[in-house]
Each structure stands twice: as C-alpha cells, then as structure tokens.
Amino acid sequence: MDRQPIVESIWREKYRLVDPDGSSLEQGPEDSFARVCRGIYARDPRRAVHEPLALEAMKALEWCPGGRIHAGAGTDRRVTLINCFVNMIVPDRMDGIMEALTRAALTMQQGGGIGTDFSTLRPRGAKVRRTGSVSSGPLSFMEIWHAMCGTIMSGGARRGAMMGTMICDHPDLPAFITAKAQAGRLTNFNVSVLVTDAFMRAVDEDATWDLGFSVPPADPARLVAVTERNGEPWYVYERLSARALWEKIIRTTYDHAEPGVIFIDRVNERNNLAYCETISCTNPCGEQPLPPNGDCNLGCVNLAVLVRDPFTPQARFDDARLAEVAAIGVRFLDNVLDVSNFPVEDQAKEAQAKRRLGLGIMGLGNALQMLGLRYGSPAAIAETRRIMALLRDAAYRASAELAGERGPFPLYDRDQLLARPFIQELPDDLRAKIAEQGLRNGVMLTIAPTGTTAIYYNNVSSGLEPTFGWRYFRKVLRPDGGHDEFAVIDAGFESWCRTRGLDPATAPLTGLPDSMVTALELSVEDHLRMQAACQEFIDASISKTINCPADMSYDSFAAVYKLAYEMGCKGCTTYRPSGTRGSVLSLDATTPAAAPVQKAPAPRTPAPPMRPEFLEGRTYKLRWPLSDENFYVTINDVRDEAGGRRPFEVFIASRSAEHAELLSALTVTLSAVMRRTDNPAFLVEDLEQVRGAQGVWVKGRFVNGVVALVASVMRRHLADLGLMDQIAERGAPEEETAPAAPSADASAPASAGAPIGDRCPACGQPTYFRQEGCSKCASCGHSTCS
C-alpha cells in the first residue's frame, strides 16, 4: 500500500524510536509496529501465536493502538501507555485538593490527559469552619489546575489535556457555565455540565430548580432553604427556573462552543460496573466516562480497509475479518494493562481491578463511502448498526474467551454483571458464554478521537466522523520551530480515484457519487443519528462534535440537545461558528479545502522593470487599537502580457511616529520584491508569522502585530487577483477598502474556502476548531485531547 508523504513525517516526529543523540533506531513504520508488538506481548504466555497476528493486522492498517502505545511501547521511556485518566474524588479540604492537583500533574508529566470533577468542592461564599473564613469556590482551584497544566509538558512533548465537570445543582454552576466565555480563561480545560434526569424533567415541566451544597453559606442572607440529602442537611443557595438555567447552558454553548453536556444518570444507568462504582467525570474528550482513578486504554479497528471491492457494485464489508481484528484488539489492550506504567499507584490498582478497555473504530465515514452509502442516510444507519453490533459481539466473545484463559477481572460479579442493561442486550449464546466463563474486561468499547493516528494510517476518516475535506494542505511543526507542508488526500477520495484510474492529487472534485459527502454538507440530524446508532452498541461513550451551521437559529440549536437526550446519547458537544470564535473549515463544492496554489520560486529579473506612469490599485484602511491609529495600505497592480494583473508595489502610510521606520522599511522591501517576481504570495505566510511585542484582538480576531495586519491586506489583495487562497482571517480582521484606483478585475477567480477558525495556541494559525469533542488545529495537529 502506497503511503502519503505525511505518514512518514508523523512517524518520524511522533512514533519512531531514536537514540538520545537523535539517531533513528527504526527505518520505517513497520519497524515501529514490530517494536510495539514486542513490547505489548512481552508477558503474554501465548506470545508466539498472538504477536505475529497483531503485527500482521498493524501492517495491514487494520488494527491501530492509541498514540501513546505507538510512541511508548517497547521502549525504556518512563511514560504511560494509557491515554487518559479521571482524577481521585477531590476532598473538600485543602490537603485533599492539593493531593488531587499533584496526581493530575504526575499524570500529565507521563503523557496522560486527566479529568477532574469539581462538584465536590464547596461553593464560593460558603463557610469554612476550620479557619473561620469564606470559600473562594471551585473555579478558583480550577485556575490552579489550569496554571499547572500550562507548565507541564505532557510526555515531554505536548501540553496536557484536561476535562473539568460540575453537577447541575452546584451553586457555582452559573459561573462555571460562562467561565470559558472569558477570553483566555481556563483554556487548558474542556468543560462539561453533568446533567441529571431530574433536571431534564424539571426543564420539561418548567419547574424550579435548587442549587445547593452540604455546607451553608457564610452569609445567612444567601440561604434560601434547608432540605435533606442522603440523611444530611443540604443548604439551598439559589432557587431558579430550570428552563432558565438550561437556556444559560445552551446559550453559552451557542456563542462559545462550551460547555458540553453529559447525561450523567444515563452514563451510570448503562454502566456495566455500576454495582461497584459511580461515575461523575470523563476523560478530556468525553468518550470514556470513568470512576475515580479510572483509565482510558485505547485502540481501534480501521473499518475503511475492511471494505472489499470498494466503489463497485460488488462492494461489501468483511464481517469475518472484523471479528478477527476485534479479537486481536481485545487481547492487545488487555496486555497493555500489564506492561504499562501508571503515574499513580491508585490508577494501577483501579485498572487491574476492572481491566477496562477502550476498543473503538476509525474509518467509518470512508467505509460507508466505499459501500455507496451516504453518511446519516437510513441505509448508512442500518449498516452502521450492523457493523457496530458485529464489533460489540466479537469484543465480548473475545473477552469471555480470554477470561477462560486468564480469569475474569477481579471485581467480576456474575449475577450483577449479567443483570446490567447493556449485557442483557447481547445475544443469548454470548450471555451464556459469559455466565460460564466470565469476562476478562468490565467495560471494553468506546469511540475516541483518532485524529493523528487516522492520518498516520493513510488519512482515513477519524473515529465515526464523516470526511471533513477531500484534499488539503497540512503544516507539521518541526522541533526547530519551522514547519513542513504536506498535501493530504482523504483515503475514501483516493480509493475512489484509483478505481477510476484518476490521479487523486489532480482529479476534479465534481461528479462524485452521492455517498461522497463531507461533514459540512450534512445536516445536524445526520450527525446525531449516526452518534445515536453507534452509542447503542458502545458500553462506554463516544467523542463526537455536532457541527452546526453559523446561521442556525438559537431555537434550532437548543433542539439539538433535547434530540440528543431523546435519542439515547450519553452526552452532546456542538460547534457553531460565531463572531466570538471564528468559523470552522469552510469548503467549496468544487475545490479542495485549503488547497493553496503551487509556490514554486518565481523567476527573478536582474533589474526591476520600469514603472508605468499610471497603475491601478486599491487602498485599504486599517486601525491598530494599541495606538488608536489608522494605517493606509495601497497596493498597485501592473498588467502582464496575457492581460492579467499582479502586484507591482505597496505603500504603507500612517501618522504614527512609533511605526514610521518599520512601515518605511516594509514599503521599500515589499515593493522591491513585488517588482522582481510574478507572484509574491510566498511573502504573505512569512509575514503573518511575525509576532509583535503585543498582539491584539481586532473585530473578534487575534492579530500578531502590525506586520501581520499588513500581511492580511496582501493576502486579501492577492486572493482577489486569483494568486492565492483568500484566508483573510489568518492575519487580521476584515479591512475597510477605499478604491484609490480602479478595482481588480471582477473576473478574477475566487479561491476555495480554507480552514478558518480560532487561533491555534501552538502554531498561531486560525485553523483551530472543535471535532470529536476536542479543539484541534487543522494546520499543525495540536489538540486539547492529546
């Protein structure tokens, strides 16, 4: 199988094993796969039989362990192979809070993300009897977590990922809901509200809802009532409309994409292990609801490569191979629990007691395309349910067989487990097998984000998500701070092109079959139906973001959450582009997303051409907030022999003495370059990266500095001339344009849309958006869930 060039870059920068001096100890991904399998099967008594099976499945790109496993298995690095954890229950006292903070720090130091439930901490204004003081509330401690996370480099390479949750009756919930609406606050957290069935009933009935805690407020005037909970006094701080509180959650999410919502009663009701644990938090991306000290041990089956004769009338899914790969995955992940480091001893004990797995999928979107099924359609949902049922049954059968070989998980209780709702939905013969042999693993199925590993496996669609774009360019950051740019082609589109003898790099994006749809072409209901179809067969949960159109009304948006609840989902995370957060990837129907023009070096003349007496151009007026000054950028164009236009010179003027020297130098330099090249597009991205002493937000977008402001004008101008993609948001806000001379040729072709979102904290590009429950950068791959 031919690999896309970006695969080697990901392998080289993330997954290959190197000497301390940086010399590579592996020659390619196959060597890394072999090293991973050696490490994972090192203690398996039947290693000789099963290690080759796992290696074969990895080489065929059928089985994909989690990224932590790819990077750490078979090495002597002191890192965990587990992706994520949930913290201990945070005691409502200072020493307990600091212990939980320390555990979170140790977890992220070894490369694991962590979730923490802050519902146990007394609210702001509550009485602190021991010191006679007043509590500052859980959000103040979340700020400490945030600062710690920003300090620690997760696994030596990435900053940590965190989830913060709060129950829907905590007095500080209103402040929690809007905390991330403040720019720059708690950015190292994903946040979600734990919503109970009682709260949802109160919303439906338009009833009142009490916010309270087991500790009274210091100010008696705040005390609304005293009720009883679990035999103890429960002090009501506020009584309000349930609908008003629900609207606050949804309205904030409508504008800011957070908080997410976790239907926590459903999580616990459907949990196989509810007889021995209570869940109140998830890992950072939300696909693994976990008890205190619980772990997230991930790997997935690549469904895309299990379609035979794709895009033909004979296309079919290989059911038998799915069952084989699922069995490989169960044994593989069970072995991970025996060879992995754990940052904290209690995490190791919890993992051994219940032996939780996170077996999932990737490539579902591509598989449906290859089978001729449109994502979200009734036929696609039926096939998805069939495939997911096959995966569920194969995983549970393999775990029962492993229990017969190695024994069930230590907290296995035959009668209580068999009585759990999810187990009761298994086929009768499989339930009988479990009753006879037990289960090796208490929970074993999830659908996690697979962003980087999906690209590593030749850019198949991530998790259960549809394809986001058929072709695009992706920047990969190098350790030296530079970046490499790669053309990335969706695996489904590549397969479709190959079956028709087309080159995927140049094939037109028109005339695609109906099954070839991207995420932004789908309705909200399409996304939700697919999430619900998968959730039915997943014993843990799913990381998915429901992408909503920017012009979606608030009422329609609010209905998404009610629909998710009614469909049986365990949670809901949405993303709607807005003025406060930018927009997600915008795609053109006929052109690849973010497909830039070729930037081959243009020929240079030995001397600049003579300036014509008259030139056409535009003048752009920009305002720089820090000095409250206007800048006027004039770009004049010259006609070429074919009648087209290209930039010839630039003039930048301002009354600001502070920037006079800089602007004069830019004017001279940029004009000199423009006169000596046919296309100065290569300048724009370099200038956009120049960071001033202080960046600012201008009209809802972050601008690195004055130079970046000027670069944004150049990008807009060049795009209007058809010389590069128009991504004005990359450098600055919308500019005011004054026609100093006749405008550019109206017939100049408009470029395709490109990744446009929030500004990435890693690479600075405005390609940061929500997908699979995480914030991810389409340019450099940075993710809050890594």
The answer to whether 634 touches 737, Cβ cutoff 8 Å, is no
**Residue 367 φ/ψ region, left for φ over 0, alpha for ψ in the -120 to 50 degree band, beta for the rest:** alpha
- The pLDDT score that the predictor gives to residue 358 is 97
Cβ within 8 Å of residue 153, ≥6 positions away: 159
Pairing of strands 63-65, 232-241: unpaired
Scanning 183-295, the segments in alpha helix (DSSP H) are: 197-205, 242-256, 264-269
Q: What are the E-state strand segments in 176-276?
A: 189-195, 208-213, 225-229, 232-241, 260-263
Residue 695 Cα to chain centre, angstroms: 26
Cβ within 8 Å of residue 268, ≥6 positions away: 274, 278, 279
CA atoms within 13 A on the CB side of 625: 13
The answer to whether 223 touches 217, Cβ cutoff 8 Å, is yes
Pairing of strands 483-489, 546-547: unpaired
- The pLDDT score that the predictor gives to residue 154 is 40
DSSP string, 666-713: HHHHHHHHHHT-S-THHHHHHHHT---SS-EEETTEEE--HHHHHHHH
pLDDT-flagged residues of the chain (< 50): 154-157, 581-606, 726-755
- The pLDDT score that the predictor gives to residue 597 is 32
Dihedral, CA of residue 640, residue 645, residue 651 and residue 654, to nearest 10? 170
What is the CB neighbour count within 10 angstroms for residue 124? 17
Scanning 82-131, the segments in alpha helix (DSSP H) are: 94-109
Give the whole-angstrom CA distance, residue 594 versus residue 585.
9
Dihedral, CA of residue 550, residue 552, residue 555 and residue 557, to nearest 10? -60
Counting beta carbons within 10 angstroms of the beta carbon of residue 131, is it exposed (0 to 12), middle (13 to 18) or buried (19 or more)? Answer: exposed
Give the whole-angstrom CA distance, residue 77 versus residue 68.
11
Give the whole-angstrom CA distance, residue 52 versus residue 41.
10
Cβ within 8 Å of residue 126, ≥6 positions away: 134, 135, 137, 171, 213, 215, 216, 217, 218
Angle (deg, nearest 10), helices 47-59 and 29-40: 150
Give the whole-angstrom CA distance, residue 298 versus residue 786.
13
The answer to whether 275 touches 339, Cβ cutoff 8 Å, is no
- The pLDDT score that the predictor gives to residue 689 is 67
The answer to whether 269 touches 421, Cβ cutoff 8 Å, is yes
- The pLDDT score that the predictor gives to residue 462 is 94
Distances (CA, A) of 488 to 1, 3, 31, 754: 16, 11, 23, 14
Give the whole-angstrom CA distance, residue 357 versus residue 447.
11
CATH class of 84-282: alpha beta
Cβ within 8 Å of residue 606, ≥6 positions away: none
Give the whole-angstrom CA distance, residue 292 versus residue 350.
8
Across 562-579, b (16+ Cβ under 10 Å) vs e yields ebbbebebbbbbbbbbee
Cis before 91 (ω within 30):
no
- The pLDDT score that the predictor gives to residue 128 is 92
Domains of the chain, by residue range, sit at 84-282, 616-738
Distances (CA, A) of 141 to 57, 147, 201, 235: 45, 10, 31, 22
The answer to whether 148 touches 101, Cβ cutoff 8 Å, is yes
Structure tokens at 265: 């009663």
The answer to whether 99 touches 338, Cβ cutoff 8 Å, is no
